[in-house]
Structure 1
Amino acid sequence: MQNVIKIIIDTLKQLISKVFKKHNDQLPYIIISVIAILIVIGSANLFIELTENLHTTSLAQFDTTITEQILAYRNPTLTSYFVFITDVGDVYGYLLVFILCNVAFLLILKKWQYGVQLSVVILLALSSNIILKKVVNRPRPELEHLVSVETLSYPSGHAMTAMAFYGFLIYLFYHFKIHPILKFCIILLLIFLIFSIGISRIYLGVHFPSDIVGGFIAGFIWVILCALIFNFIRVYRKDPTV
């Protein structure tokens, strides 16, 4: 993505020079910033449109069908597994993974910035999820809850944070210079973990499937937006003309 942003900026510089007959080094960055803001606004509008469908009959049928299919597989072994997985997607799980990642970032990669970026992503996901839950105000499913819950239902905080946190880790690992097979296995494991956390919330009876979908979408938006912003900052700092 960093190379793509660099190419876009260089192209904008050439285009601006041709159009305005003079060279402006900072205007391309202003344009990129405006684009980033538009992405935020567009993503928010998309999420709002998706949220408006929560009360439709078709979505209710979707939730019922998926929930019934997942609950049909309830058994003691799966319950123990999904309780463990949902704990991995909670505060202490993220804290442990965050500490381990930061140790690796500092001691192996010598890049403390990755830890800061990961912190920003998860803080944005957590804070925005709290706001969205209060705005939408959707109650939990009237099912047997296999774990205790206190907050509202939509969007799923577990799904949203899992997609943002582990999704951004996938983005980071994709760019790390490590053995391709090891990289593939780590990314595959993280993808499996994201979807397992989402499914666990339905299995445990504390979320509608649409809560999980909404959480995944919102978390993915933060991954894309933060990756764009972080790369833009990196390119801007390296540009000798600014």
Structure 2
Amino acid sequence: MKQKLKIFIGGIRNYLSVQFKKYDEKWPYLILIVVALVVVIGGINLFVELTDTLHTETLAKYDEQITDFFISRRNPKLTDYFLFVTHVGDVYGYLVVLALTILVSTVVFKRWRYVGQVVLVLFLASVSNMMLKRAIDRARPGIEHLVSVETLSYPSGHAMSAMAFYGFLIYLFYTFRMNKILKGLAVLFLIILILSIGISRIYLGVHFPSDVVGGFIAGLIWVFFCIFLFNIIEVFRRDPKT
């Protein structure tokens, strides 16, 4: 991605040099960041527009069928597992993972920037989730809840944060130079964790399946934006012209 960004930035510079006799070398980076923000805002607006389907009978039917599928399979062992993973997707779970991230980043990779990056991704997902919940204002499922909840339903905060936080960790593992088998196992573990956190919210009766899918999509938007943003910053830092 960094190489493609360099080529794209070079193209913007060539265009600016033709249009303007003098311009700041930082302009191409600012233009890219603004474009990325516009894309994210547009994606979120489209996401909100698509939520009109939440009121359709077809989606309600699928929500009910999928929910019934998981509810009918409740048993003590599964309940213990999904209670555990849903707590991993809570505030205290992220604090533990952040502590591990700090340890690995400083001791193994000796780079604090990874900590700042994952914190920013989680922060953006959390704040935008609260805003989306208030904008859409969907009530929780009217079935038995196995955990207590106080906020609105759509999109699922657990699913959105899990996709954003652990999804970005998947990207980081992908960029690390490490044993391919260990890298593959780490990525597989994180994928299973993301899916488990999402499913746990349906199993525990606190979210509709569409809440979880919506949370995954919204979280993925922030993952792509942050990957793009951090790569732009890295290219900017190494650019001799700035």
TM-score normalised to structure 1 length: 0.94
- Match for residue 168 of structure 2? 168
1:96-107 matches, within 5 Å, as: 96-107=96-107
Whether the 8 Å contact between 2:48 and 2:136 is mirrored in structure 1 is no
- Deviations along 1:49-76, one digit per CA (max 9) or x if unpaired, are 2212111111111111111112121111
Q: Does structure 2 retain, via aligned residues, the 8 Å contact 1:13–1:23? A: no
Paired position in structure 1 for 2:186? 186
User: Identity rate of aligned residues, in percent?
Assistant: 56
SS across alignment from 1:181: helix
Deviations 1:193-235 (A, max 9, x none): 0000000000000000010011101111111111111111111
Distance across 2 between alignment mates of 1:156 and 1:241? 44
5+ residue gaps in structure 2? none
In the TM superposition, structure 1's runs of 4+ consecutive aligned residues that sit over 4 Å from their partners are 21-24
Q: Give the TM-score normalised by structure 2.
A: 0.94
Alignment of 1:56-75 (within 5 A): 56-75=56-75
Q: Do structure 1's residue 20 and structure 2's residue 28 form an aligned pair?
A: no
Once residues 21 and 125 of structure 1 are traced to their aligned partners in structure 2, the CA distance between those partners, rounded to angstroms, is 38
> Match of 2:42, as an amino acid?
G
Whichever residue aligns with residue 207 of structure 2, its letter is H
Query: Separation in 1 of the partners of 2:26 and 2:100?
Result: 39
Q: Secondary structure at the match of 2:161?
A: helix
- Structure 1 distance, partners of 2:95, 2:116, is 14
Query: Which 5+ residue runs of structure 1 have no aligned equivalent?
Result: none
Task: Compute the displacement of 1:16 (Å).
Answer: 4.1
Is the CA contact 1:9–1:28 (under 8 Å) kept in the aligned structure 2? yes
Output aligned runs, 1:10-159, within 5 Å. Answer: 10-17=10-17, 19-20=18-19, 24=23, 25-159=25-159
Q: CA deviation at 1:21?
A: 7.9
How many residues are matched? 241
Question: Hey, what's the Cα distance between the residues in 2 that align with 1:214 and 1:126?
Answer: 14
Cα deviation, residue 186, structure 1: 0.3
Q: 1:33: how far off?
A: 2.2
Q: Distance in 1 between matches of 2:184 and 2:144?
A: 38
